[in-house]
Amino acid sequence: MPETFITIEQAAELEGISYNTFIVRKNRNPELYKTKTEQSEAGGKERILVDLASLSKKAMRTYQMKQEIQVNLIKEFESSDGDDDEAWYVGVELSKYMAKHNEQFYKNVEFANRIKEYLDYRGFDKTQYTEQFAERLGMSGRNFRRKVDKYLEGCAWAIEMNEHSGKNYDFYKILALCPRPREKKYIALTDEMKVLIENIWFNPSFAANHRKQTQLYIVFCKIAETKGWVLLPSYPTVNRYINEISGKYAGERFLADQGMRELKRKMMIKRRRNTGMLKVMELVQGDAHTFDCWVKVIRPNGHITAIKPYLAALIDTRSRCLVGWAVCEVPCSDVIKQMLMHMMYPKKNNPIEGVPRIILIDNGKDWTAQTLTGRNRKERVSLDGEIKGFFKSIGIEDDMRSLPYQAWTKAQIERFFGTLCYNFTNEFDSYTGTLTGSKTIGKIKKDIKGMLERNELLSIEEFATLFDNWLNVVYHNRVHSGLKEQKEKDPRPLSVFQDADRYFKAAPPMEYTRVLLMKAEERMVYATGIKMDNGYYHNEALGRYIGKKVDIRFSQDNPSILHVYDKDDGSKLCEAYLEKGLNPLAAQNDPELAEHMQVQHRQLRGIRENLLYLQTSYENRQLPRKASKADRKVILPELKEEAPKIVSMVDDKQYKEEVKKRKGKGSADCNEFFDRQFEKAMAKLG
């Protein structure tokens, strides 16, 4: 490899250090650097040159790249000027050029004045002067010399044109410093090409895969080839048209890309609802939410497992108070019934209670169960006014449903769930992040299994207690931004709940609500009684219903008693109890066997008496009969001490009949006046 010597200034520049730093390095290790001296052209002290091979590999690579750049620039210059003796600006009209490049022209007018100043220099060391002059202009000496050569070339062309035409062409001196304007050579898009681009860009299969402009151009070229198009537009031309139609048809592109559901959620026009027009408890919103943390649950057999608990909640739209809630493993219609009961009656730790006028729910199968709404969950509106569910039975006028995938219709409760996540749930060590958005970075990895084994998880009961405390101490008593927008005097949920206009509806008697909480099913009556999972339930009153279906109600907490009702008129038949079964080895005098035989005798006697009555003539039936035995007493849960003093009149025929029967038990001690008034009121109510 031939030796290449460069100046110390160039070597320092290649190493990326200053001139003095390079001198210090060379003096410390002179054996590492091969040098030579040469006489300066301007005279004076000899210059020291350094062999390029003595420098670092980085410096040698940098030098090689600079040489390649210089060669490419020379080739580019030769190719642009090659066979053409005239410069690009010869023949150019100044007015047309300045119409498009006015700023560029006047910028180089000032630069031409600097070149004139440089050409007027008459000193000896012009090389050093050139470097210093170029540095003042913020340029390298090489680039500055190229500009000077172009200026001198422009002067030569101006002199020549002035001599031949007699006009002033001094502006060539300025144009020579200006870059040559680019000639825009592109194929204009035809109407057919534009339509093809639109078809590809708005194609759902293309857009749904999030394919970009570069891929569209590839598809465009392939289709154009099949159509026999010879001249094709460039990628920038196609890209410009895509940007144009994307801005004009942003909604259409979003629909093809994301689908109708996301279009409605993000780009559909919406209006804010004036919740300040509502009264407190006039409209409540119900929904379920999964907590983003883990708790432990102890099963009846002692097994401990980790779960994410659910929150079933009801929020008052006007005040933003959480009027009802239940922390559970899985929300269901039974949990929602218990939560509604918790909402209606007084509670020990907060003053929130009442029956709402309207309840707004989503389309979840738990909230739209037929036992709650009184109609099939697939039916949004019931045309039969007589059909009732749990909602209407406790006094709620009607239930409304939000449309599927339109969470903004229940904005208040969705907002509460967001507040719950970022102000309560994320304080627990078992918090694992939320994926309610589209970013998976919101998920946090936690060793839940290890935390369960180390007993670091809270029990679901402890977690519910902490939630209740946060709700009553923090959330209900802090300023709510939504209430500030409503211009509330005191924008705290509990204050608005207590002070704002109130919709009032008295809650039904607690004993009636507890009956409604019982689980209802339809069962067949066999000769051995009503069959359930844990055995057979029997009562001698069921003897007349063998082979027929009846409605039953039972409490899941106490399944040993079944409340049996007639399927046709809804009247209560009896209360069936769980039978243990007779001992196969029982003797004739066994008490249980004897009691069972008595029941059979009573059943046969009743059948014979009824048969005899059916065979009796009309005249004989008018004779007074022996009074029948009184019905059995109905056992209902007792009212709690905190039950409200005012209750609503229950519009339930079955319940009213039971009240009449219980009232008839003590008629001897009752005031006849109040009895008559009660009968009149019940008659008016139907």
Residue 181 forms part of a structural domain: no
Query: In this predicted model, which residue has the larger pLDDT, 319 or 520?
Result: 319
> Quick one: pLDDT at residue 637?
41
Do 211 and 139 lie in one domain? The reply is no
Task: Report long-range pairs for 413-422 (Cβ below 8 Å, ≥24 apart).
Answer: 413/285, 413/286, 413/287, 413/313, 413/315, 414/287, 415/482, 416/313, 416/315, 416/320, 416/322, 417/287, 417/289, 419/475, 420/289, 420/291, 420/311, 421/292
Q: Is 411 helix (H, G, I), strand (E, B) or coil?
A: helix
> Of 240, 266, 292, which closes a domain?
266
Q: Are 509 and 649 in contact (CB under 8 A)?
A: no
The CATH number of residue 495's host domain is 3.30.420.10
Amino acid at residue number 75: K
Do 431 and 347 lie in one domain? The reply is yes
> Of 592, 618, 644, which closes a domain?
618
**Is the pLDDT reported for residue 631 higher than 80?**
no
Residue 36 forms part of a structural domain: yes
Tens of pLDDT, residue by residue over 210-250, are 788 888 999 999 998 898 888 888 888 888 888 888 878 88
Provide the pLDDT confidence category of residue 642 given band limits of 50, 70 and 90: low
The CATH number of residue 525's host domain is 2.40.50.100
Please give the tally of structural domains in the chain.
Answer: 6
> Quick one: pLDDT at residue 582?
66
The terminus-to-terminus CA distance of the chain in angstroms comes to 116
Do 118 and 195 lie in one domain? The reply is no
Residue 473 forms part of a structural domain: yes
Q: Mean pLDDT of all residues in the chain?
A: 77
Residue 645 forms part of a structural domain: no
Query: In this predicted model, which residue has the larger pLDDT, 261 or 51?
Result: 51
Do 376 and 321 lie in one domain? The reply is yes
Do 389 and 538 lie in one domain? The reply is no
Tens of pLDDT, residue by residue over 496-542, are 998 888 898 888 877 777 777 777 778 888 887 888 776 788 787 78
Provide the pLDDT confidence category of residue 644 given band limits of 50, 70 and 90: low
> Quick one: pLDDT at residue 387?
46
> Quick one: pLDDT at residue 628?
39
d(CA 267, CA 408): 13
Do 134 and 206 lie in one domain? The reply is no
Tens of pLDDT, residue by residue over 377-415, are 554 443 333 346 788 888 888 888 776 666 667 778 888
Residues 6+ apart with CB under 8 A from 228: none
Residue 255 forms part of a structural domain: yes
> Which structural domain range is residue 606 located in?
521-618
Query: In this predicted model, which residue has the larger pLDDT, 293 or 636?
Result: 293
Do 365 and 391 lie in one domain? The reply is yes
Do 11 and 26 lie in one domain? The reply is yes
Please give the C-alpha separations between residue 480 and each of 188, 408, 419, 489, 493, in angstroms, as whole numbers.
Answer: 58, 18, 11, 12, 7
Do 390 and 295 lie in one domain? The reply is yes
> Quick one: pLDDT at residue 278?
86
> Quick one: pLDDT at residue 638?
43
Do 320 and 460 lie in one domain? The reply is yes
Q: Are 331 and 310 in contact (CB under 8 A)?
A: yes
Tens of pLDDT, residue by residue over 6-23, are 888 777 766 657 788 888
Helices (H), 352-404: 370-373, 390-393
pTM tops 0.85, yes or no = no
| Residue 271 CB neighbour total at 10 angstroms | 5
Tens of pLDDT, residue by residue over 550-586, are 888 777 666 677 788 888 777 778 888 777 766 676 6
> Of 37, 62, 79, which closes a domain?
79
Please give the C-alpha separations between residue 417 and each of 280, 310, 317, 423, in angstroms, as whole numbers.
Answer: 20, 12, 14, 10
Best mean pLDDT range from 77-86, 452-461, 662-671 = 452-461
Residue 376 forms part of a structural domain: yes
Residue 674 forms part of a structural domain: yes
Do 91 and 161 lie in one domain? The reply is yes
Do 219 and 308 lie in one domain? The reply is no
Percent of the chain, pLDDT > 70?
74
Residue 144 forms part of a structural domain: yes
